[in-house]
Amino acid sequence: MRAAVVVFPGSNCDRDLAVAFEAAGCQVDMVWHKDSELPQGIDIVGVPGGFSYGDYLRCGAIAAQSPIVKSVKAHAERGGYVMGICNGFQVLTETGLLPGALLRNAGLKYICKTVGLRVETAQSAYTEGYAVGDVIDIPIAHHDGNYFADADTIARLQGEDRVAFTYMDNPNGAQADIAGILSQNRRVLGMMPHPERAADAGHGGTDGQALFRALAGALSTA
């Protein structure tokens, strides 16, 4: 599998994401936000966490207009895989690749801790390494992680089995406890928690490893 990790001014999880991809057996290209095209042969694009463009205007809003994102959207529209984590999830909602928006946390405070996530579907390349109902420990670190969408969108996500993860103990007020969602073709994942920070035993946990390993396995046979 060949992965591209997009780097924006203010990204701070790009290296963590690249290391997690590499540990799963991927070749990784780091792609600068001012580039206009992804490298040839990319299987998945990772949009990392951080504070792209300082979170000015609205989290992810400026990054969604950067030159490389047009190529990321085209990649997704061709059926390519895209994973946005934390700020990356915010960017994907701003581009329209995923529905909804990420609002200020209900408590109006930045939250940084490990939380329990319930796996809601195993029917995606990202989650097939888990079983439905598994509870995994994954770190969060966000100020604007409160997932919001209208009632029809929430019902559609649930009805189409597109909720990937939910919080066991909702830390931010997210509707329906949503921590991560999938696109209609199940190839775009957005999630607020950081699986790349739970992919190395030396960093305190390995519950995120299964996501990267399953993804690499699925794409190697695609």
21 burial class (0-12, 13-18, 19+ CB within 10 angstroms)?
buried
pLDDT per position as a tens digit, 27-65: 999 999 999 999 999 999 999 999 998 888 888 999 999
Q: Return d(Cα 96, Cα 93) in angstroms, integer.
A: 5
- Please give the share of the chain, as a percent, with pLDDT higher than 70: 100
**Which residues are marked as active site?**
86, 194, 196
Q: Are 160 and 54 in contact (CB under 8 A)?
A: no
The answer, yes or no, to whether residue 222 has pLDDT greater than 80, is no
Contacts 24+ apart (CB under 8 A), 104-109: 104/143, 104/144, 104/146, 105/142, 105/143, 105/144, 105/145, 105/146, 105/171, 105/172, 105/173, 106/146, 106/172, 106/173, 107/172, 107/173, 109/143
- pLDDT tier at 221, thresholds 50, 70, 90: confident
Mean of per-residue pLDDT scores for the chain: 95
Q: Are 119 and 127 in contact (CB under 8 A)?
A: yes
pLDDT for residue 38: 96
pLDDT per position as a tens digit, 155-195: 999 999 999 999 999 999 999 999 999 999 999 999 999 99
pLDDT for residue 58: 85
The answer, yes or no, to whether residue 204 has pLDDT greater than 80, is no
**pTM for the model:** 0.95
